[in-house]
Structure 1
Amino acid sequence: MTTGAAGGGAGPWGPAPGADPGALERALGEVAPDRWEAYEQLLRELAAGRVWMLLWHGTPGSPDAQYGNMDIGGHGYAPAVTSPGQLAASGWARAHEVISGREIADALYRTRWGLWLNPHAPGGGVGVPWADLRRVVAGLDRLPAGPLRLTEPQLPGTERFYALLEQQAPSVRPVRALRRAWVQPVVGEAYLAIGLELYDTSPPAVEAVRALMQRAIAQAPPGLAVSTVAMSDEYDPVALWLRANTRPFYHREATPAPYPQATPAPYPAAYPQPAYPQAPYGGSLPPQQGWPQQPWTGR
């Protein structure tokens, strides 16, 4: 993927009309450990705004253009700043690229890279993990807010719901297997997730599975929120947790292979929490030093 013009406008997503250019920076200043509503506001401003990506090599649009790289706790982040003022304060002496928050989120999460905002700032800035960049792209209201607490569901009154799924799934030919999890987002209501493993994802197949779920939900306890997740989605943290920690409660084939019996974690390893720096990543770095990691090669 090539880069845009240095110092130019946002990428093809573009900033939201009338977006406040200082809103992202102000939201960043409100973020702190366990202040989840403030972190959600930061994600909203990132989706509407733009960032200044720091190029480790090359210039925007050149074949050798590469973003910088930071490694925090085994997770990779590309550094960025939130305004021309922060760019000047960082002392960054190499090239940079101005790009919309949604566009860079779309580019980074697909290779499981996060975005680190203002790493030069006092305290070291804040890292947005790739799973939250995925939420920025797909819509913050469409995907649950992590970190997620995922467990096996222990819900009274769901017997008829599961029974209907098990009885009717054999007649819905696209369905290979069904799994379940109780999902507790850090912000928002908890819900029952049904993991769908399908043979076929064509529109008629998806419609048949949707009708099956609607019939089953009619038998669910009143007030129970139910959602589905595609087990084929390699970026969905609920699907990743289901595959690693559960066995299907329905499987079309005779005897499914045993599934790993891992100890459930409060959230899957694929969904790192928002990152806060620890030495040596906090504080300002000399301009000539930069970020001493290997460059990200995904763009």
Structure 2
Amino acid sequence: MSAEEAVEELLTRVTADRLETYEELLGALADSEVWMLLWQGAPGEPDAHYGGIELAGHGYAPCVTSAGQLTASGWNRAYEVLPGRDIAAALYPDHWGLWLNPHAPGGGLGVPWLDLRRIAGGLDRLPAGPLRISEPSVGVDTFYARLVALAQRTPVLRALWRAWVRPALGSSYLAIGLDVDGPPEHGADAVRAMMREAVVEVPDGLTVGTVAMADGYDPVAMWLRANTRPFYDRDAAGVGRAGDPDRLGYGYPGGY
């Protein structure tokens, strides 16, 4: 079975309660090609642009998943064939999702921009959404105290944040937001060393992950900045709530 055939077979099996199947679909989409429908212009022309579908305030670029589906759609304008990873990387920075086979019975399926980010960056590296994020209630004060003490000796570290993250698939975990001076890679070795030394205080069974607060596309970092204050702030004054929580959203049904 080709990657395109796998996508089309999985599309027939995806339902709201079959998240494992949806995850398989994302993996197949990453390895396949898609036929992007050009509303205007031809491939490579400066004025070429894709069509658009809007649902609940979120934009999606329509595509079809094979040459056969292109014929079935009746599309009579230009199109271009692109690898799934490439189109995912091109769309998600503008918060655009990808709509698969909108001509199909039932209207096809939309893949939110946040899942395109996962396809572009690696499905195994980013947690499966929609994420449920809240303030943590786990009692790990010793870990927090150790982190703060180490942060005070890590000049590049500006602030520390925390959240409890429940992915759609996989175990919940404690996320530590890392706000560093300069780009995320600046002082990365020092920050990694800090985290390695601090996690010895984490009790068995608790998973801890990190998130770069400078990542403007990470849903955990976005939630932290909109809803919480850092538990360690090198500069103390001037850091607080930012953004409007009601305006967050990633294109998932239900407002996530």
**Under a length normalisation based on structure 2, what TM-score does the superposition of the two structures give?**
0.94
Residues 19 and 48, structure 1, Cα contact 8 Å, conserved in 2: no
How far 1:200 moved relative to its partner?
Answer: 3.4
Structure 1 vs Structure 2: percent identity of aligned residues? Answer: 56
Partner residue in 1 for 2:212: 230
Partner residue in 2 for 1:271: 250
Q: Give the letter for the 1:216 counterpart.
A: A
Q: CA–CA distance in 1 between the matches of 2:187 and 2:3?
A: 43
Residues 1:241 and 1:204: Cα distance change in structure 2 (over 3 Å) = closer
Q: Give the letter for the 1:130 counterpart.
A: W
Residues 1-299 of structure 1: matches in 2 within 5 Å? Answer: 19-156=2-139, 158-201=140-183, 205-259=187-241, 269-273=248-252
Q: Which 4+ runs in 1 deviate beyond 3 A?
A: 18-21, 200-204, 260-263
Structure 2: gaps of 5 or more residues: none
Residues 1:104 and 1:149: Cα distance change in structure 2 (over 3 Å) = same
Q: Give the letter for the 1:127 counterpart.
A: G
How far 1:203 moved relative to its partner?
Answer: 5.2
Q: Give the letter for the 1:191 counterpart.
A: Y
How far 1:270 moved relative to its partner?
Answer: 3.2
Residues 44 and 140, structure 1, Cα contact 8 Å, conserved in 2: yes
Residues 147 and 272, structure 1, Cα contact 8 Å, conserved in 2: no
Say how many residue pairs are matched: 254
Higher helix share: 2
How far 1:206 moved relative to its partner?
Answer: 0.8
Alpha-carbon RMSD: 1.9
Q: Give the letter for the 2:104 counterpart.
A: A
Q: CA–CA distance in 2 between the matches of 1:96 and 1:200?
A: 41
Residues 1:27 and 1:202: Cα distance change in structure 2 (over 3 Å) = closer
Question: Which 10-residue stretch deviates more, 109-118 or 33-42?
Answer: 33-42
Q: CA–CA distance in 2 between the matches of 1:131 and 1:254?
A: 32
Q: CA–CA distance in 2 between the matches of 1:161 and 1:195?
A: 14
Q: CA–CA distance in 2 between the matches of 1:73 and 1:202?
A: 33
Residues 1:204 and 1:61: Cα distance change in structure 2 (over 3 Å) = closer
Structure with the bigger RCO (C-alpha within 8 Å, sep 6+) is 1
CA deviations on 1:66-93 (whole Å, 9 max, x unpaired) are 1100111100000000111111111111
Structure 1: gaps of 5 or more residues: 1-17, 276-299
Residues 240 and 270, structure 1, Cα contact 8 Å, conserved in 2: no
How far 1:65 moved relative to its partner?
Answer: 1.1
